[in-house]
């Protein structure tokens, strides 16, 4: 068993530890933590390393006692804490111990039981649908509404549980439920191209340029049961909000360029990703692309390569491999840049920065604006504005920084903008908001 920094148990399970060398004696101890393949135990006295042991669990809310066979595989220095590899412990006994831990040690009895019922119903019906779609992979459309309703009901229950416990100050209960969900239920929902991609993180982080462009294009190509998951992702409120954000930023950029009296307009696209906005602006006959010069800043070289292939080789688009965090922390920002900008925009970057870093970044970007220049920044709003958040975080492991409108505005005022220089706008669902900051 790997050693966690912090146990997920809030109290320990009392046990007796029977060694292989002294079968007539035992050591009192406790189970302190548990993983899929092992236990962490504490004993009242030392146990030889590599010792074959049996851990006697005393009536853990079940019909009696039972023994867990195992082997000591590590010992913490200066303590009697041990890691135990579990052998031949499965089936009904394992289920009983799991239930005891979840209900009594983690304190998740009622919500776990309710979730188990919902997920059990879902799994039964999902198996029927999957079997049918294995034979008829093109007929996924027959089941999409039913599928969406079942998934929504599960994650709505999780949302209500979190809301209730956060109000009461019981964040620890929410954390425990998430640990339980990830350990036991996540694989039930790890289907489809998009969720699988988010979990694998092939570029090392969630929300990479490829999955963002997949959401922009909204063109799933999978079939059968996986197509239900991919459609669900594309139909989710956060995916719709991401597409709305793209359209809103295209409009804001076009409005500013249309109002430009003369000369070129230089734009910075910070954390540019796939550059789908630029691609679609160039395809719009009303966009005065001959006036626009885009400087695209991106840390990920594969994103730059992807964007270059998407755009071709327009003379008025330049790419720079640069870390936005470095831009935020740079003391002499003018030393990094040769140009000032009419428009600086960033769509998803601030969803991953804390307030301190975000404020320092806005402060430096403000210095790079021309007179009458505009800084356009988007961020997700408070967590409960996003109904997709639990599927996104708990199933797909895609986590964001959520902010209230007041917290978002504070970043800009602390970075040196006056209140009258700021306008706040909203994506039409109210999930994402934008600040237009004018210098």
Same domain, 243 and 305: yes
Same domain, 114 and 101: no
Quickly count: other Cβ atoms within 10 Å of residue 201's Cβ: 14
Q: What angle separates helix 209-217 from helix 193-200, to the nearest 10 degrees?
A: 160
| CATH of residue 333 | 3.40.50.150
User: Three-state SS for 180?
Assistant: helix
In angstroms, the CA 14 to CA 272 distance is 55
Same domain, 215 and 246: no
How many residues can be counted in the chain?
439
- The answer to whether residue 94 is domain-embedded is yes
SS (H, E, C) 360-403: HHHHHHHHCEEEEEEEEEEEECCHHHCCCHHHHHHHCCCCCCCC
Same domain, 175 and 249: no
Backbone angles phi, psi at 54, to 5 degrees: -130, 130
- The answer to whether residue 4 is domain-embedded is no
Same domain, 180 and 290: no
Per-residue pLDDT at 56: 82
Rounded alpha-carbon distances, angstroms, from residue 241 to 215, 253, 348, 425? 10, 18, 11, 13
- The answer to whether residue 53 is domain-embedded is yes
Quickly count: other Cβ atoms within 10 Å of residue 135's Cβ: 8
Per-residue pLDDT at 71: 87
| CATH of residue 50 | 2.40.10.220
- The answer to whether residue 8 is domain-embedded is no
**Would strands 81-86 and 432-438 be described as parallel, antiparallel, or unpaired?**
unpaired
What token pair was written down for 173?
A: 């209960």
What token pair was written down for 356?
A: 């301190």
Per-residue pLDDT at 63: 53
Helix ranges (H only) for 316-421 are: 324-329, 355-367, 389-390, 405-414
* Domain termination residue (choose one: 81, 105, 129): 105
Structural domain that includes position 68: 13-105
- The answer to whether residue 301 is domain-embedded is yes
Same domain, 258 and 231: no
Radius of gyration of the chain (CA): 27
Residue matched to tokens 């992807």: 306
Beta carbons of 296 and 272 less than 8 angstroms apart:
yes
Per-residue pLDDT at 32: 84
β-partners of residue 434 are 378, 425
* Domain termination residue (choose one: 54, 88, 105): 105
Same domain, 215 and 174: yes
β-partners of residue 68 are 55
β-partners of residue 56 are 16, 67
Name the residue among 325, 361, 323 with its Cα closest to residue 344.
361
User: Three-state SS for 69?
Assistant: strand
Q: What is the pLDDT of residues 232-274, one digit of tens each?
A: 999 999 999 999 999 999 999 999 888 876 778 999 999 999 9
Residue matched to tokens 């922390």: 329
The distance of Cα 30 from the centroid of its chain, to the nearest Å, equals 34
Angle ∠(368,370,376) on CA atoms, nearest 5: 70
In angstroms, the CA 248 to CA 242 distance is 10
Same domain, 422 and 284: yes
In angstroms, the CA 317 to CA 326 distance is 22
Find the Cα–Cα–Cα–Cα dihedral 206, 208, 226, 113, rounded to 10°. 20
CB-based burial label for 136 (10 Å; 0-12, 13-18, 19+): exposed
Number of domains in the chain: 3
Same domain, 185 and 145: yes
Same domain, 253 and 329: yes
Name the residue among 314, 315, 286, 302 with its Cα closest to residue 212.
302
Per-residue pLDDT at 132: 97
- Which residues have a Cβ under 8 Å from the Cβ of 416 and sit 6 or more positions away? 363, 366
- The answer to whether residue 174 is domain-embedded is yes
In angstroms, the CA 431 to CA 369 distance is 28
- The answer to whether residue 6 is domain-embedded is no
Per-residue pLDDT at 5: 47
Backbone angles phi, psi at 10, to 5 degrees: -100, -15
- The answer to whether residue 3 is domain-embedded is no
- Which residues have a Cβ under 8 Å from the Cβ of 166 and sit 6 or more positions away? 174
Low-confidence ranges of the chain (pLDDT < 50): 1-2, 5-6, 60-62
Same domain, 228 and 242: no
What token pair was written down for 226?
A: 């996986």
Per-residue pLDDT at 78: 85
* Domain termination residue (choose one: 214, 235, 256): 235
Same domain, 364 and 318: yes
């Amino acid at each position: 068993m790997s050693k966690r920094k912090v146990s997920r148990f809030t109290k320990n399970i009392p046990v007796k530890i029977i060694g292989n060398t002294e079968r007539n004696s035992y050591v009192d101890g406790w189970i302190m933590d548990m993983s899929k393949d092992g236990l962490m135990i504490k004993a009242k006295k030392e146990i030889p390393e590599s010792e074959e042991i049996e851990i006697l669990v005393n009536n853990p809310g079940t019909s009696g006692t039972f023994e867990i066979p195992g082997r000591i595989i590590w010992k913490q220095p200066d303590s009697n804490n041990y890691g135990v590899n579990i052998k031949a412990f499965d089936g009904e006994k394992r289920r009983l111990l799991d239930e005891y831990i979840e209900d009594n040690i983690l304190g998740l009895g009622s919500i776990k039981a309710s979730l188990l019922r919902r997920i059990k119903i879902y799994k039964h019906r999902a198996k029927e649908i999957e079997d049918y779609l294995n034979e008829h992979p093109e007929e996924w459309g027959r089941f999409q509404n039913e599928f969406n309703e079942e998934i929504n009901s599960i994650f709505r229950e999780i949302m209500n549980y979190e809301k209730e416990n956060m109000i009461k100050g019981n964040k620890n209960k929410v954390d425990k439920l998430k640990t339980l969900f990830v350990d036991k239920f996540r694989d039930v929902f790890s289907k489809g191209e998009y969720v699988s991609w988010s979990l694998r993180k092939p570029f090392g982080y969630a929300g990479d340029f490829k999955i963002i462009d997949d959401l922009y294009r909204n063109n799933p190509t999978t079939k059968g049961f996986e197509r239900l998951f991919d459609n669900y992702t594309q139909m989710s409120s956060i995916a719709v909000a991401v597409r709305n954000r793209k359209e809103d930023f295209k409009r804001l950029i076009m409005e500013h360029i249309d109002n430009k009296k003369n000369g070129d307009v230089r734009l910075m696209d910070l954390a540019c990703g796939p550059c789908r906005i630029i691609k679609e602006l160039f395809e719009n006959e009303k966009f005065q692309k001959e006036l626009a010069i885009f400087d695209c800043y991106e840390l990920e070289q594969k994103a730059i390569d992807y964007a270059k292939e998407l755009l071709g080789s327009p003379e008025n688009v330049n790419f720079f491999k640069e870390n936005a965090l470095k831009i935020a922390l740079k003391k002499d920002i003018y030393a990094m840049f040769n140009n000032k900008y009419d428009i600086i925009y960033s769509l998803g970057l601030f969803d991953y920065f804390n307030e301190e870093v975000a404020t320092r970044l806005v402060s430096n970007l403000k210095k790079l604006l021309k007179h009458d220049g505009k800084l356009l920044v988007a961020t997700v709003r408070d967590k409960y504005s996003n109904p997709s958040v639990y599927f996104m975080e708990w199933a797909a492991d895609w986590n964001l920084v959520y902010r209230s409108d007041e917290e978002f505005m504070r970043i800009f005022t602390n970075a040196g903008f006056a209140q009258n220089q700021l306008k706040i706008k909203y994506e039409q669902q109210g999930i994402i908001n934008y600040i237009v900051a004018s210098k």
